[in-house]
Amino acid sequence: MKRLILALLIIPLLLTGCGGERAQQTKSKPKIAVVISTLNNPWFVVLGQAAVERCEALGYEATLFDSQNNPSKEADHFDNILASGYQAILMNPTDADGSAVNAKAASRAGVPVFCMDREINLPGACVTQILSDNYSGCISLGQYFVEVMGRKAKYVEILGLVGDNNTWARSRGFHSVVDCFEGLEMLAQQSADFDQNKAMEVMESMMQAHHDIDAVFCGNDAMAMGAYQAILGAGKAGKIKVFGFDGADDCVNAIREGKVEATGMQFPKTMAETAATLADRYIKGERNLPKKMPVAVELVHRKNVAQYGNFGKIQD
Amino acid sequence: MKQMKIVKWIALALLALLALRLSFYTENLSEKNRREAMSRYNPEELVVAMMRDSLSALEQRALPLAQWQDMLQKDPQTLASTHARRLGIGSPLFYMIRAELSEVCLVDDEYLRAFAEGVEIRIPITYIFGNTARDASGWFNIDDFRNTMDFNAVSAAMNDYIAEKMADFRLPEQASLRVLGAVAIPEDAVRLERLELIPFVLEP
């Protein structure tokens, strides 16, 4: 009798428990993963955060993953994501070739991948790549560099991650203009991995090796700020002109204050929001999406800096 | 009975024609050349193929400057939707235009300055912005390339190709020229007093 009473008490409890779980499952939102190369740079924080916010606004549960600029860390994230029922991945890759393997694994598992800002060298592994038009942006920057520096100057270049296509797109765009002028001489070119502290060290060593540097072109704004700190420390502020790329807030403010000459505004929010919107359309069944979607870059300099801030155009 | 035979023969003839049609595969020659050049991927070769195969089509597609200006002022949206090409989000609008240039002169060994339809036209010599030519031509599709580096290498190759042609160019005495070229303008532009034009054809 006691057993019967106990069973009568337990069975409804079990049923309620299962039913509750099922109800919870039904109610839980579909999930999108946002995998960012590094959250150690404010520009990428904005990219990731904007993607998360847009996904949430579209009715998804979004989770942000930090790959810490490490392809194997990114691979770990992908393993977890593929085992956890995510419906799409918005990825800012760490490496054009290394990240392609992760994107391919996701694609094989039926999870669509959308690349933001950085591309992978395997277009079929992701649905769409939303990328800044770095090459054109750096052509504009190169033209402005010639305008500011004139036809005769000595400069150095600080590159980003050598495995990232953006590094070379920026460098080649810049050089496609500047190399047309024989009087503009590049004294040194070195990578600082898009990192502010590394750029400071690189700039310090470049200034020790070359005492006649007139300008530095940096592959992103974090490195431009690092280079500026080194120049300031060496008492050469104003003598060595700094050019960056990204449109990060601290760099835009530095342009306003006359510390930096120019940067290229990349619009991370536009890229993130577009990626989230395309992922939503894909999840809802749309398949006719563009493979690549460049986003135009705008030149920001002292004359037009009032129009820019908060990682975009102020009226935006 | 005779009618039945005629119908039968017509049906057989139609079937034979259909079989014949299906046994042939036809393709536009310039599209075939484009596809072949793309599969080999050599930026310089691609640019040469583009210049060889698409100039007459570009000439036909290009708007006369006067018509382009008129549409730009009166109905920029229709002009953009019917004649412009663009590349992604926030991109400028790229057009192919043709014009008769007058008062052509060389300025500081940097650009040719000329006038057409009341507009100052500048044709750069020192530096040629390759993306305008590439994107206005419509011949290159970014999705056909492995990555943006390959796509941008075409711009650089096109830049070199046009620069080389311009280096050989000698300003004629009469200083009036016919030009077919590419322009890039901001999306919100409605009136332009000066236009930078990247030349595909520049001849007396």
pLDDT in tens, A202-233: 999 999 999 999 999 999 999 999 999 999 99
Q: How far is CA A87 from CA A62, A109, A220, in A?
A: 10, 11, 32
Residue A164 has pLDDT above 90, yes or no: no
pLDDT in tens, A16-44: 444 444 444 446 899 999 999 999 989 99
CB count in 10 Å sphere of residue B84: 18
Closest by Cβ to B148, choosing from A169, A181, A274 = A169
Rounded CA-CA distance A263/A150 in Å is: 18
Residues A34, A55 contacting (CB under 8 angstroms): yes
pLDDT in tens, A231-281: 999 999 999 999 999 999 999 999 999 999 999 999 999 999 999 999 999
A135/B148 CB distance under 8 A: yes
A270/B147 CB distance under 8 A: no
Task: Output A196 or B108, whichever has higher pLDDT.
Answer: A196
DSSP conformational letter for A95: -
Residues in Cβ contact with A35 at an 8 Å cutoff, skipping those fewer than 6 apart: A65, A67, A74, A77, A78, A81, A89, A90, A91, A92
Rounded CA-CA distance A103/A34 in Å is: 13
Triad B132, B189, A303: Cα angle to 5°: 85
Mode of pairing for the β-strands spanning B119-124 and B194-196: parallel
Residues of chain A in contact with residue B89, where contact means CB-CB under 8 angstroms, are 270, 274, 293-296
| Interface probe, candidates B86, B127, B141, chain A, greatest A C-beta count within 10 A | B127
- Kindly state the tokens that stand for A204: 């310090």
Rounded CA-CA distance A236/A230 in Å is: 9
Task: Output A4 or A48, whichever has higher pLDDT.
Answer: A48
pLDDT in tens, B161-195: 998 888 777 777 666 889 999 999 988 887 788 89
Closest by Cβ to A123, choosing from B87, B90, B146 = B146
| Interface probe, candidates B149, B160, B161, chain A, greatest A C-beta count within 10 A | B149
Q: Which pLDDT value is given to residue A25? A: 47
Residues 269-308 of A with CB under 8 A from B: 270, 274, 290-296, 298
Rounded CA-CA distance A265/A294 in Å is: 14
Packing angle, helices B130-137 and A134-149, rounded to 10: 150
pLDDT in tens, B58-101: 999 999 999 999 999 999 999 999 999 999 899 999 999 999 99
A135/B126 CB distance under 8 A: no
Residues B117, A134 contacting (CB under 8 angstroms): no
Residue A314 has pLDDT above 90, yes or no: no
Q: How many CB pairs under 8 A join A and B?
A: 68
Residue B89's closest chain A neighbor by CA? A295
Q: Which pLDDT value is given to residue B37? A: 64
Q: Which pLDDT value is given to residue B93? A: 95
Q: Hunting for tokens 């998360």 — which residue is that?
A: A52
Q: Hunting for tokens 């998804």 — which residue is that?
A: A60
B90/A139 CB distance under 8 A: no
Q: Which pLDDT value is given to residue B5? A: 84
Residues in Cβ contact with B84 at an 8 Å cutoff, skipping those fewer than 6 apart: B93, B94, B95
pLDDT band at residue B130 using 50, 70 and 90 as cut-offs: low
A165/B147 CB distance under 8 A: yes
CA distance, residue B153 to nearest chain A CA (Å): 9
Tell me whether B167 touches chain A (CB under 8 Å).
no
Residues of chain B in contact with residue A295, where contact means CB-CB under 8 angstroms, are 88-90
Rounded CA-CA distance A35/A89 in Å is: 7
Packing angle, helices B148-168 and B43-61, rounded to 10: 70
Q: State the amino acid at position A168 in one-letter form.
A: W
**DSSP H/E element including B162:** helix B148-168
Assembly ipTM? 0.79
Query: What's the whole-number mean pLDDT along residues A46-72?
Result: 97
Report the share of chain B in percent with pLDDT over 90: 46
pLDDT in tens, B36-52: 666 667 999 999 999 99
Mean pLDDT of chain A: 91
Residue A10 has pLDDT above 70, yes or no: no
Q: Which pLDDT value is given to residue B38? A: 64
Under the phi-then-psi rule, with left for phi > 0, alpha for psi from -120 to 50, and beta for the rest, what region is B104? beta
> Does residue A287 sit in helix, strand or coil?
coil
Residues A136, B154 contacting (CB under 8 angstroms): no
Rounded CA-CA distance B53/A65 in Å is: 48
Packing angle, helices A165-178 and B148-168, rounded to 10: 10
Query: What's the whole-number mean pLDDT along residues A158-168?
Result: 91
Q: Which pLDDT value is given to residue A307? A: 95
For residue B85, list its beta bridge partners: B94
CB count in 10 Å sphere of residue B151: 24
Tell me whether A313 touches chain B (CB under 8 Å).
no
